[in-house]
Amino acid sequence: MSRSARSILPLLRSLLLGAATASSMALSAGLIVGCGDENDPETHVKRLDDPATLTASVNRLVQFFEDAMTRDNKDRTGPTVKPLLDKIIEPMTQKCVAGDLDERTNSKLIKFISDTRDPRGEACLIKALKDYKPESTEEDVRWAVRGLGAMKSEKAAEPLMAVFSKLQHGKPKGSTISRDVHDAMVDINSKSWEDGLITMIGRPINDPKDVGTMRNELFWQITAAELLGWQRSEKAVVPLLKVVLSPVKADAATTAILALTKIGKPAIQPTIALLQGDQKELVEYSKVENLKGAGDKASAEQKKAAETAHVAAAALVLATIGRQESSQPLLAALEKAEDVPRAIIARELTKVPRTPETLAAFQAAYEKTPAGLEMPPAGVNARVMLAEAASNFFDASLVPWLVKTGLEARGEEDDVAQIRDVSLQTALKLMKPDQIADVDRLAGTRTSGGGTVGKSMEKEIKIAKDLLAACGTKLECYVGKLGEPASQAKETQFQGIKSAYMAGVLGTPEVRQQIIDAMPKVSNAAVRFVSVSVIDALSPKGDAEVATKLQKIVDEGEASKDPEKIAGNAPFKTVIYRLTARSQ
């Protein structure tokens, strides 16, 4: 062997040994990683840093969380879930915030962190809001807002408002998340939004025929009005009144009125000033809005209606708030009003605390109302509307008057028939045992068709008479009847309706608690509605404690996810707001 060959061999052996050693070390390292405990979350946390294992590690960690939630019965603070989150939430959040993830893995991370409801994951969810691309990343936003709303994240206020402002409710994907975004806005409701929300409800809707724009604006403005109400924003009172005054924003008017009711006392004086015509800017705004679209072609009748539209709107707001100081301005306005505005103000008088003056004014206004007067826009007969509203007084002294005015009604045959039918219905609800004969007179009146007014209500008449015979003037008896099975059944629900009205007719403030105690047995929506209306009528000065008890019933219904319970509790909300507003 040559010297050259002998000198090269050691070098080759050295190189080969080095390569073998390096290969052995690499293999050992691979075995160490591969041999990590696959059932230990920390193993997969470490693998988050390796792009080759990142996706699989995210999937495995999410599975750990789901399994832990199952073991702990969905308790995020449970003995299995909490220690797991302490190990994995922060590194997973860091990966989310850093980006560099494929779309599917990123979405899975966002959903997981949203499900944890862990504040340590807040930054990831906020990033999903900042990355929002309309008609593209809606699913990520859905999960982000659900988590942030549940956490009531104040840090999310600014990006959430940005998402809300550019969400297109009028487009397919936008409409799928508008409810989730709305709910998160309500949950967080940052005071920092106040000025922006006020600007939003003030935006004009210039072309109602542009359906997409209309849907977007109504989504934004209805949500904004609701939020301002929950904030009890005094700065928003006049802008909210403008929403009520604008016919093109009619779909947002109810929300605006309820917002003003939540604001309560601070909304009273500006609304009284509007009713009396002292809010010149608002009066002019109302005229312009009510003539919008008609222009120079507006008829004399349209112009006249526009001149007084602010009166009816202000009356509606004042009465819905329902504070005692609303009564006198409404009575004063009623004396000056004619026809449609007079009928509207009279109807609204039934919502404010009852006094001899409001009762007498209502009756006088009813008698001045022509039998054929129709209420815009639906064309409902004004006297029919008022005869039905009279039941809100819960006052049996109206029964002889309802019978008398029903019998004396004159006009077109259809108008008279409707007036007598509804007058009888209201009289049946309010009558005491000693008024049965009086009501029988109206029920027995002959109709042009050869029958009697009470023919179509024979079942209700019998139920009312049987109930009065059983309970007489015993208040506890009527309250007890509220929860009976017969009061819940559709065929015999008038027993529950009549029982609730009698609780209002005979009741004192003390009966409110008895009605609340009976609620768990009252499943019929109509009976629940009248029952909570009785609580409202028996609380002329409001009652924050009763409002809290009613809110608890609403919250329990929401938590149950039962659609029937939720729907049955819907009327409670307005009463809750009114009781709170009156007690300020």
Within this chain, do residues 537 and 577 fall inside the same structural domain, yes or no? yes
Range of the domain at 131: 39-188
Residue 257 lies in a domain: no
- Helix (H) / strand (E) element for 562: namely none
Percentage of residues of the chain with pLDDT beyond 90: 86
Domain end point (choices 188, 217, 243): 188
CB 184, CB 227: distance < 8 Å: no
Neighbours of 465 (CB within 10 A): 17
Q: Report residue 271's pLDDT band, with 50, 70 and 90 as the boundaries.
A: very high
pLDDT for residue 187: 97
Determine the pLDDT at residue 22: 40
Based on the fold, state whether residues 523 and 416 are members of the same structural domain.
no
- Domain for residue 194, yes or no? no
Distance CA 353, CA 322 (A): 7
Do both 52 and 145 map to the same domain? yes
pLDDT in tens, 208-261: 888 989 999 999 999 999 999 999 999 999 999 999 999 999 999 999 999 999
Angstrom distance (rounded) from CA 256 to CA 227: 10
Residue 58 counted as domain residue: yes
Q: What is the pLDDT of residue 3?
A: 44
User: For 477-527, how does the pLDDT look when each residue is reduced to its tens digit (9 = 90+)?
Assistant: 999 999 999 999 999 999 999 999 999 999 999 999 999 999 999 999 999
Does 440 share its domain with 560? no
User: Is the same domain home to 471 and 520?
Assistant: yes
Using a 10 angstrom Cβ sphere, with 0-12 exposed, 13-18 middle and 19 or more buried, the burial of residue 361 is buried
Looking at the structure, do residues 544 and 428 belong to the same domain, yes or no?
A: no
Q: Is residue 365 part of a domain?
A: no
| Whether residue 529 is found in the same domain as residue 398 | no
Asked whether the beta carbons of 49 and 91 are under 8 A apart, the reply is: no
- The tally of domains found in the chain comes to 3
Give per-residue pLDDT as tens, 521-538. Answer: 999 999 999 999 999 999
Q: What are phi and psi of 119, to 5 degrees?
A: -55, -25
Tokens of 49: 């840093």
pLDDT at position 301: 84
Contacts of 425 (CB under 8 A, 6+ apart): 388, 457, 460
pLDDT score of 304: 86
At 5, the pLDDT band (50, 70, 90 cuts) reads: very low
CA–CA separation, 262 and 546 (whole Å): 16
Cα gap 539→353, rounded to integer Å: 8
The whole-model pTM stands at 0.89
Alpha-carbon distance of 17 to 330, in angstroms, equals: 103
Q: Is residue 485 part of a domain?
A: yes
434, containing H or E segment: none
- 527-571 per-position pLDDT tens digit: 999 999 999 999 999 999 999 999 999 999 999 989 988 999 999
Mean pLDDT value across residues 299-328: 92
CA distance 306 to 304: 5
Mind listing the pLDDT tens digit for each residue in 367-406? 999 999 999 888 899 999 999 999 999 999 999 999 999 9
Q: What is the pLDDT of residues 74-131, one digit of tens each?
A: 999 999 999 999 999 999 999 999 988 999 999 999 999 999 999 999 999 999 999 9
Average pLDDT, the chain: 92
Same structural domain, 435 and 555: no
299: pLDDT confidence band, cut at 50, 70 and 90?
confident
Last residue of a domain, one of 164, 188, 212: 188
- Residue 115 falls inside a structural domain: yes
| Integer Cα distance of 285 and 167 in angstroms | 29
Sequence-separated (6 or more) residues with CB below 8 Å from residue 532: 515, 550, 571, 572, 575
Q: Are 47 and 184 in the same domain?
A: yes
Q: What is the pLDDT of residue 35?
A: 52
Nearest to 535 by CA among 520, 547, 523: 547
Residues 470 and 437 reside in one and the same domain: no
pLDDT at 303: 86
The CATH number given to whatever domain includes residue 148 is: 1.25.10
Task: Give the pair of three-digit tokens for residue 343.
Answer: 């009928």
Tell me, yes or no, whether 126 and 49 share the same domain. Answer: yes
Q: Is the pLDDT of residue 201 over 50?
A: yes
Cα distance between residue 466 and residue 142, in whole Å: 55
Q: What is the DSSP string of 162-198?
A: HHHHH--TTSHHHHHHHHHHHHHHHHH--GGGHHHHH
Q: Locate 514 and state its tokens.
A: 């008895």
In a domain, 328, yes or no: no
CA atoms of 490 and 488, how far apart (whole Å): 6
502 in the same domain as 442: no
Cis peptide before 377 (omega within 30 of 0): yes
Is the C-alpha dihedral spanning 99, 103, 108, 111 positive or negative? positive
Is residue 512 situated within a structural domain? yes
Assess contact for 577 and 262: CB atoms under 8 A.
yes
> Domain boundary at 447, 477, 494, which?
447
* Residue given tokens 């029964």 in the structure block: 399
